[in-house]
Structure 1
Amino acid sequence: MEFQILSHAGLLVKNKPGKSLICDPWLVGSSYWRSWWNYPPVSKDLINSLQPDLIYLTHIHWDHFHGDSLKRFPCNIPIIVPKGNYTRMKDDLYYLGYKNIIELKHGERFQLDAGFSITSYQFWMFLDSALLIECDGVKLLNLNDSKHMGLTLRQITRKHRPIDFVFRSHSSANERLSYEIVDEPETPVDDLDRYIKEFAQTAQATGARYAIPFASNHCHLHKDSFHFNRYIQHPLLVEAYFKKHGIQTPQVKVMLSGDRWSTETGFHISDKDWFTNRETLLAEYLQQQSESLQKFYKLEDEAVIEKQVVTEYFGQFSASLPFFIRRYFKPVQFTYVLSAGGATKYIFNINVYKGRVEELPPHTVLDHVTYPIQIHTTAFIFLRGIEFRIFSHMCIGKRVFYKVTSKRKKYMEALNLVFNAYEYDLLPIHKLFTWRSVESWTMRWREVVLYILLVKDKLIYGKLDFEKYLR
Structure 2
Amino acid sequence: MKFINLGGATAILEYRGKRMLFDPWLDEGIFHGSWFHWPPVSTDIKDLGRFDYVYISHIHEDHCSAGTIRHLNRDAEIIIMDRRPNFVANFLKSHDFNFAKVHLVPPRKGMRLADDLFVDMIEADPANEMAYLVDSSIVIRWGDHVVFNANDCQPHSDGMDYLCKTYPKIDLALLPYSGGSGYPSCYINLTEDEKIAEKERILERRVAGFIENTKRINPRHVVPFADQYVVGGSRSHLNRYISHGSCPGVVRDQVQAAGLGDRLLLLNSGQSFDLLTKTKSPDAPYKAYTEEERERHIAEHLVQHMYDHERVTFGPSVSIDRLVRHARKRLWEAQTQRRTFPATRLVLDFNDSQRRFEIDLTVADVLESDIRQPLREPYLRMSGSDTLQIMLLIGHISWNIADAALFLDYDRRPNVYDPSIYVLLNFLKV
The answer as to 2:147 corresponding to 1:140 is yes
* Distance in 2 separating the partners of 1:87 and 1:183: 41
Look up the match of 1:414: 420
Identify the match of residue 280 of structure 1 among 293, 299, 303.
Answer: 293
Alignment pair present for 1:37 and 2:46 = no
Report what 1:235 is aligned to: 248
Letter in 2 for 1:168: L
- Aligned residue for 2:226, secondary structure, equals coil
1:395-448 deviation line (CA, Å, top 9, x unaligned): 2233233212217x456x43103346x59xxxxxxxxxxxxxxxxxxxxxxxxx
Q: Tell me how far 1:273 sits from its aligned partner.
A: 2.6
Q: Paired residue for 2:260? A: 247
Q: Write the deviation string for residues 345-402 of structure 1: whole angstroms up to 9, x where unpaired.
A: 65333344444444557xx315244894311234444344332473233322332332
Cα pair distance change 1:153/1:179, threshold 3 Å: same
Say whether 1:399 aligns with 2:407. yes
Alignment map for 1:37-436 (pairs within 5 Å): 37-45=36-44, 47-74=46-73, 77-100=76-99, 101-124=102-125, 125-177=132-184, 178-181=186-189, 189=198, 191-192=201-202, 193-229=204-240, 231=242, 232-233=244-245, 234-248=247-261, 251-262=263-274, 263-264=276-277, 266-268=279-281, 270-271=284-285, 273-276=287-290, 278-289=291-302, 293-294=305-306, 296=308, 298-299=310-311, 302-303=313-314, 306-307=319-320, 308-322=322-336, 325=339, 327-329=341-343, 332-339=344-351, 343=352, 346-359=355-368, 364-369=371-376, 372-385=379-392, 386-388=394-396, 390-406=398-414, 409-410=416-417, 413-419=419-425
* Partner-residue secondary structure (3-state), 2:230: strand
The alpha-carbon distance between structure 1 residues 111 and 306, as it changes in their structure 2 partners (threshold 3 A), is farther
Superposed CA RMSD: 3.2
Q: Deviations over 1:331-356 (max 9, x none)?
A: x43211244xxx56653333444444
Aligned 8 A contact 1:46 1:258 in 2: no
* C-alpha separation in 2, matches of 1:108 and 1:169: 23
Aligned-partner Cα distance in 2 for 1:128–1:59:
5
The one-letter code of the counterpart of 1:275 is: Y
**1:228 Cα deviation (Å)?**
2.2
Q: What is the Cα deviation at residue 214 of structure 1? A: 0.8
Matched to 1:200, the amino acid is I
User: Aligned equivalents of 1:246 and 1:260: distance in 2?
Assistant: 24
Closer, same or farther: CA 132–29 of 1 in aligned 2, 3 Å: same
Partners of 1:136 and 1:286 lie apart in 2 by 47
The alpha-carbon deviation at position 213 of structure 1 amounts to 0.8
Q: Does the aligned pair in 1 maintain the 2:117–2:141 contact within 8 Å?
A: yes
CA distance in 1, matches of 2:116, 2:28: 35
* Corresponding residue of 1:430: none
Change (3 A) 1:377 1:240: farther
SS at match of 1:316: helix
**Equivalents in 2 of 1:3, 1:244: separation in Å?**
26
Sequence identity (%): 15
Structure 1 residues 208 and 169: alpha-carbon distance in aligned structure 2, compared to 1, 3 A threshold: same
Q: How far apart are residue 264 of structure 1 and its match?
A: 4.6
| Alpha-carbon spacing, 1:326–1:42, altered in 2? closer, same or farther (3 Å) | same
Q: Take 2:181 and 2:303, find their aligned partners in 1: how far apart are those partners?
A: 26
- 1:34 and 1:264 map into 2 onto residues whose CA distance is 41
On the 8 A contact 1:123/1:129 being kept in 2, the answer is: yes
Cα distance in 2 for partners of 1:78, 1:380 equals 40
Larger mean Cα displacement after TM superposition, 73-82 or 192-201? 73-82
Other structure's SS at 2:404 match? coil
> Could you tell me the TM-score, scaled by structure 2's length?
0.83
Deviation per residue, 1:191-238 (Å, 9 max, x gap): 221010001110111010111011022222232143324542232220
1:318 partner amino acid: W
Checking the alignment, whether the CA contact within 8 Å between 2:383 and 2:410 is kept in structure 1 is: yes
Distance, in Å, in 2 between the alignment partners of 1:396 and 1:290 is 17
Relative to structure 1, the CA distance from residue 355 to residue 71 in structure 2 (aligned partners, 3 Å threshold; closer, same or farther) is farther
